[in-house]
A and B are shown apart, each in its own frame.
Chain A
């Protein structure tokens, strides 16, 4: 009989940094549960409804049903405001944890053999998770959510060739109802199904490879755990399950605390011209893209092209970073790119939040963004010189009396990394 439990894990993994992926799964499960509950009351329609939303009960609302039912969830459903707020903040948390999981894996080189395919599936999961954020943004049907969704769609429609091809699938018959139906379908059915399928593949691949060992400079370091080692590991049932339950409960508690302290406020619905609406802007995770099109000369093609280039780079990273070493110290170029990417996203997000609607001239763009890459390059170069060169120099001076400890070449007179002694001395 097949066991339903997942693989045991080695003891050294019981630190939060080894479970960032499990935290994302936990956040996803919370989204599924809270989303299923919201679905009991939500109405994906732009027509008026008899649901009471600030009006006398039983009168047909002039507000769209999508907005009206959201209002109803917040004001009339028991614990509705808390549920809706946790669904929104849970989405933010899931995206944040996903980025954390991504950068942790990038820095520690877990995408290297044999985990290349797992990394690629993870990249697709990242795209679909951002897709969940995009499609969910429209559903409350506030003026802000409609207008911001429209910006994203126009960005796609403005692409040559692809735009006109994609248009009918996104816009349906071109009416707001058509768009809402498509976004609703994608948010509650299509993308969750894709996420579940990819998540299954991601976890199955993880089960097959085992946890990535700690990053190391040793290129011959064991890269996977096998069945016999499982016997020494901590079993899933009950230890890992309890461990993850502890983190899951902490997550849910913090989420409810934040949602109770700062419940989400529903702004005016789309189509209500009489109420002053705010400036159109996306949620924080798309602010960098929103800012990117501010730059003078950045057309939708360039903006979408740049995002796609970043995505393709991440997708094929295992085949670009081909060295067998996993330690950040041994991968200065790719660490420089990772830190620059992170700095770029943070900078663009803050910049987008600070100065909405100000066109940025190319010189200012260069003056603001270039330092991120330059400072990172200097920092990585210094770090590389201080730790890698010095580390190899120390290795070269040690007696090779401990075979296997300082690398595979130790017993044959070559220091770790396979560099001949003479060359290392030459560096000195």
Chain B
């Protein structure tokens, strides 16, 4: 490009000194036109300006993104320790061992649910013993439910237990996860996974848990056991204490975190001082088609 006016004298343009013709590209002219002080290196100044602007913009944008990421993660709501929560019967009266042993028994498939320790963590209350009859000592089976004292069980037979009602596979809750007592008429199934007669089965993806052994996993796809709620009563006897009668309380949860929570105590609001039982029917029909 010729004929472009050379606006820069040799004295004003130290880095262009000696040039006799105009630059081929007018951008260079703009630098020189804007130059106020002949001693200043405009190119260096512009590079620094650009770096400063880019830096400020970068810090601003980065800070905004970082802030947004922080903003989108509020502190998790929860409890700091397990509360002692009294269980109430469906009518609101305190739940006693005597009530559970006379009214809720192994022969019914009716689900008894209560929330503990958070209002979005339902649990089963199970009584793994028949309504009447002495322990026969032969262990449970489909034809002879007998009685069973489960680990951590309370009551006169040690058969009252509570497990999380949320499946450890993908979090399907009751009644998708249901308790099936052994034998007809409540349970038409005649064969059980692993030969266990008391089990919890999830209709979402078929996971099965052994109700008589701390809800250990029997069949997949779940691998972990269900969390177990620790139950006590207000009438402990002996040492270590046995809880054979009295009002029932929930005091802690053992096992893995309740599914969907990073920690059983976090991710919801506490149930308060008392938690009331609710009855629910299991989903029907009962699923008997277990993989063997």
What residues of chain B lie closer than 8 Å to A279, measured between beta carbons? 175-176, 203-204, 283
Does B219 have its Cβ within 8 Å of any Cβ on chain A? yes
What residues of chain A lie closer than 8 Å to B122, measured between beta carbons? 273
Docked complex Cα distance between A273 and B72 (Å):
31
Interface segment, one of A48-56, A171-179, A333-341: A171-179
Docked complex Cα distance between A157 and B169 (Å):
11
Does A298 have its Cβ within 8 Å of any Cβ on chain B? yes
What residues of chain B lie closer than 8 Å to A176, measured between beta carbons? 120, 268
B281 touches A276 (CB 8 A): yes
What residues of chain B lie closer than 8 Å to A290, measured between beta carbons? 204
Interface bin, chain B: 35 or more
Closest to B73 in A: A168
**Of listed A169, A174, A276, residue having the most chain B CB within 10 A:** A174
A151 touches B221 (CB 8 A): no
Known: A150-B260, A169-B73, A276-B281. A174 touches B266 (CB 8 A): yes
A358 touches B287 (CB 8 A): yes
What residues of chain A lie closer than 8 Å to B291, measured between beta carbons? 296, 358-361
Does A280 have its Cβ within 8 Å of any Cβ on chain B? yes
Q: A377 to nearest B CB, angstroms?
A: 29
What residues of chain A lie closer than 8 Å to B220, measured between beta carbons? 296-297, 359
Q: B262 to nearest A CB, angstroms?
A: 7
Q: A189 to nearest B CB, angstroms?
A: 14
B74 touches A178 (CB 8 A): yes
Known: A174-B77, A174-B266, A279-B204. A151 touches B172 (CB 8 A): yes
Of the candidates A153, A175, A277, A356, the one whose C-beta lies within 8 Å of that of B204 is: A356
Does B20 have its Cβ within 8 Å of any Cβ on chain A? no
Docked complex Cα distance between A166 and B279 (Å):
35
Known: A273-B280, A293-B221, A359-B206. A151 touches B171 (CB 8 A): yes
Docked complex Cα distance between A153 and B73 (Å):
16
Docked complex Cα distance between A168 and B77 (Å):
11
Docked complex Cα distance between A416 and B52 (Å):
61
Q: A134 to nearest B CB, angstroms?
A: 14
B287 touches A175 (CB 8 A): no
Does B119 have its Cβ within 8 Å of any Cβ on chain A? yes
Q: B203 to nearest A CB, angstroms?
A: 3
Does B78 have its Cβ within 8 Å of any Cβ on chain A? yes
What residues of chain A lie closer than 8 Å to B201, measured between beta carbons? 357
What residues of chain A lie closer than 8 Å to B278, measured between beta carbons? 273-274
A357 touches B204 (CB 8 A): yes
A147 touches B173 (CB 8 A): yes
Does A300 have its Cβ within 8 Å of any Cβ on chain B? yes
Does A426 have its Cβ within 8 Å of any Cβ on chain B? no
For window 359-373 of A, CB contacts with B under 8 Å fall at 359-361
Of the candidates A150, A173, A294, the one whose C-beta lies within 8 Å of that of B206 is: A294
Does A299 have its Cβ within 8 Å of any Cβ on chain B? yes
A174 touches B283 (CB 8 A): no
B267 touches A357 (CB 8 A): no
B202 touches A357 (CB 8 A): yes
For window 247-292 of B, CB contacts with A under 8 Å fall at 259-262, 266-269, 278-281, 283, 287, 289-291
What is the interface of chain B mostly: helix, strand, loop, or mixed?
loop
What residues of chain A lie closer than 8 Å to B290, measured between beta carbons? 359
What residues of chain B lie closer than 8 Å to A361, measured between beta carbons? 291
B77 touches A280 (CB 8 A): no
Does B170 have its Cβ within 8 Å of any Cβ on chain A? yes
What residues of chain B lie closer than 8 Å to A158, measured between beta carbons? 170
Known: A151-B171, A154-B259. A356 touches B279 (CB 8 A): no
What residues of chain A lie closer than 8 Å to B76, measured between beta carbons? 168, 171, 173-174
Docked complex Cα distance between A290 and B202 (Å):
14
Query: Per-position contact with A for B114-131: 1 when CB-CB < 8 Å, else 0?
Result: 000001101000000000
Q: B225 to nearest A CB, angstroms?
A: 16
**Of listed A168, A295, A298, A299, residue having the most chain B CB within 10 A:** A168
Of the candidates A147, A150, A174, A356, the one whose C-beta lies within 8 Å of that of B78 is: A174
Does A155 have its Cβ within 8 Å of any Cβ on chain B? yes
Query: Per-position contact with A for B203-227: 1 when CB-CB < 8 Å, else 0?
Result: 1111100000000000111000000
Known: A273-B122, A274-B279, A300-B170. A356 touches B221 (CB 8 A): no
Does A263 have its Cβ within 8 Å of any Cβ on chain B? no
Does B75 have its Cβ within 8 Å of any Cβ on chain A? yes
What residues of chain A lie closer than 8 Å to B172, measured between beta carbons? 147, 150-151, 280
What residues of chain B lie closer than 8 Å to A276, measured between beta carbons? 175, 280-281, 283
Does B154 have its Cβ within 8 Å of any Cβ on chain A? no
What residues of chain A lie closer than 8 Å to B200, measured between beta carbons? none
Docked complex Cα distance between A280 and B204 (Å):
6
Of the candidates A155, A167, A280, the one whose C-beta lies within 8 Å of that of B262 is: A167
What residues of chain B lie closer than 8 Å to A57, measured between beta carbons? none
Does A271 have its Cβ within 8 Å of any Cβ on chain B? yes
A274 touches B280 (CB 8 A): yes
Closest to B267 in A: A174
B204 touches A151 (CB 8 A): yes
What residues of chain A lie closer than 8 Å to B269, measured between beta carbons? 175
What residues of chain B lie closer than 8 Å to A277, measured between beta carbons? 175, 280, 283
A358 touches B204 (CB 8 A): no
Closest to B284 in A: A276
For window 262-320 of A, CB contacts with B under 8 Å fall at 271, 273-281, 290, 293-300
Does B197 have its Cβ within 8 Å of any Cβ on chain A? no
Docked complex Cα distance between A359 and B291 (Å):
7
Docked complex Cα distance between A357 and B176 (Å):
9
B260 touches A154 (CB 8 A): yes
Of the candidates B74, B120, B173, B202, the one whose C-beta lies within 8 Å of that of A173 is: B74
Closest to A152 in B: B170
**Can you list 13 pairs linking A and B with CB atoms under 8 Å apart?**
A150-B172, A167-B262, A168-B72, A174-B77, A175-B268, A276-B283, A280-B176, A299-B221, A357-B202, A357-B287, A358-B289, A359-B221, A361-B291
Residues of B whose CB lies within 8 Å of any CB of A are: 72-78, 113, 119-120, 122, 169-173, 175-176, 201-207, 219-221, 259-262, 266-269, 278-281, 283, 287, 289-291
Q: A147-B172, A280-B172, A359-B207 are in contact. List 17 more A-B contacts (CB 8 A).
A: A147-B176, A151-B170, A151-B204, A173-B74, A174-B261, A175-B269, A176-B120, A176-B268, A276-B281, A277-B175, A279-B176, A280-B173, A293-B205, A358-B287, A358-B291, A359-B205, A359-B291
Residues of A whose CB lies within 8 Å of any CB of B are: 147, 150-151, 153-155, 157-158, 164, 167-169, 171-176, 178, 271, 273-281, 290, 293-300, 356-361
> Nearest 5 A-B pairs (CB), nearest first?
A174-B267, A357-B203, A359-B206, A273-B278, A168-B73
